[in-house]
Amino acid sequence: MKELVSEIRTIIESARTNAMRSVDFCRVQMYWQIGRRIVEEEQGGQARAEYGKGLIKNLAKEIEPVYGSGFGQRQMEYSRRFYLEFPIAHTVCAQFNWSQYKALIDIPDKDKRKYYELEAVNNCWTARQMKRQINSMLYERMLLSNDKEAVLAMARKERMPEKPQEIVKDPMVLEFLGLEKRTHYYESDLETELINHLQDFILELGNGFTFVARQKRILLEDDEFFIDLVFYNRLARRFVIFELKTGEVTHQDLGQLQMYVNYYDRTEKLPEENPTIGILLCTAKNDTLVRMTLPADNNTIVASKYQLYLPTEQQLIAEVEKVKKEWEEAR
């Protein structure tokens, strides 16, 4: 009897999921068709702002009272923009739901929009996950340490990440942890919350990450050490080690992380795998101290700031300018 109940539940859940997908598909098709007819009506497909604005307003007056708020002036305008931004029906209607397309339509920069479109497909983002990545300014954070062409090439899967900076975001946004903005909290609290929100943390980390271990014990003769978090990135084919610090990074922290990276490279890494990356996740860092502590040709250790709130556009612009200045001074 239990087996029968389980099978019937599976059938029902599968049918419900398929029904929802069918509804989403039909909804996207409907708004695309509405957008196409609006654009065609605008002087034979040539958009004119004033005419279009009046047309949409009048359409909404006629249709919204009959079919509801899903056909108001705002939705009609989204439909129009939807068709203009995605004019080929067969390339869009089966990819995302309407909420996802609306989030993409709101991005004016075409390169930025394409990046989120590609990454959403690559990672099977839900609408909530897509909006979170857009709001956390993932694209801009990737551009802090990479050029636009490299970022888009990785999203298109034309190249795999090679450098730590192509994998690690700086800053890293951990607003999903829900931790209070306190002057001090324990590293164990941060680690526990990251494990409790592992799915969200992997979403923030990006493509190809899988969880390996927490508090990984290593023994060096009679000395015992514990690595906070260990992940593996299957795209980069390398281990990625995280050490968590709730204060500013020190040269001792970097030295300890280098030891962990050396350990993994010498005892855990297979010959065909790439060198291990170590990430020191901290609340603040002295970039000059980091550069002076690590070798000039360092390609394995990265110090990344984390913040417990979504960045504002002004904060990110300031960070971009800071990075540009550092690059110019380093030349």
What's the pLDDT at 171? 77
Chosen domain end from 80, 106, 132: 106
Distance CA 89, CA 328 (A): 45
Interval 112-123: pLDDT, tens:
999 999 999 888
Q: How many Å apart are CA 52 and CA 31, to the nearest integer?
A: 16
Res. 131 pLDDT band, cuts 50 70 90: very high
Judgement on whether residues 102 and 170 belong to the same structural domain of the protein: no
Quickly state the pLDDT bin for 106 (edges 50, 70, 90). Answer: very high
Over residues 91-118, the mean pLDDT reads 88
Q: Are residues 178 and 54 in the same domain?
A: no
Higher pLDDT, 256 or 23: 256
Same domain assignment for residues 301 and 233: yes
Nearest to 177 by CA among 153, 157, 195, 150: 195
User: Considering the domain boundaries, does residue 19 fall inside one?
Assistant: yes
Look at residue 54 in the predicted model and tell me its pLDDT.
81
235-290 pLDDT, tens per residue? Answer: 889 999 998 887 777 888 888 888 999 999 999 999 999 999 888 888 777 676 77
pLDDT of residue 107: 94
Q: Which residues of 314-323 are buried (b: 16+ CB within 10 A; e: fewer)?
A: eebeebeeee
CATH number for the domain including 218? 3.40.1350.10
pLDDT of residue 283: 77
Query: What tokens does 211 get?
Result: 């969880």
What's the number of domains the chain is made of? 2
| pLDDT number for residue 288 | 67
Q: Name the residue with higher pLDDT: 326 or 261.
A: 261
In a domain, 114, yes or no: no
Which residues form the domain of 29?
2-106
181: in domain:
yes
Does residue 172 share a domain with residue 87?
Answer: no
DSSP string computed for 210-273: EEEEEEEEEEETTEEEEEEEEEEETTTTEEEEEEE-SSB--HHHHHHHHHHHHHHHHHT--TTS
pLDDT in tens, 297-324: 677 777 777 777 776 667 666 766 665 5
Whether residues 43 and 172 share a domain: the answer is no
CA 253/CA 255 separation, integer angstroms = 5
Q: pLDDT tens for residues 35-94?
A: 888 888 876 656 565 666 688 888 888 888 888 888 889 998 999 999 999 887 656 556
For residue 169, being part of any structural domain is answered with: yes
Asked if residue 121 is part of any domain, the answer here is no
Shortest CA distance to 241 belongs to which of 221, 222, 263? 263
Residue at a domain's end among 83, 106, 129: 106
Q: CB–CB of 239/269 below 8 Å?
A: yes
pLDDT tens for each residue of 161-203: 777 777 777 778 888 887 766 555 667 778 888 888 888 888 8
Q: What is the DSSP string of 165-188?
A: GGT--SSEE-GGG-----S---HH
Sheet holding 277-282, edge to edge: 172-173, 301-307, 277-282, 238-244, 223-233, 209-220
Closest CA to 235 of 161, 305, 137: 161
Q: Are residues 265 and 176 in the same domain?
A: yes
Same domain, 171 and 304: yes
Distance, CA of 254 to CA of 99 (rounded, Å): 43
pTM over cut 0.85 = no
Strands in 99-193 per DSSP E: 172-173
In a domain, 154, yes or no: no
Are 100 and 191 within one domain?
A: no
In a domain, 62, yes or no: yes
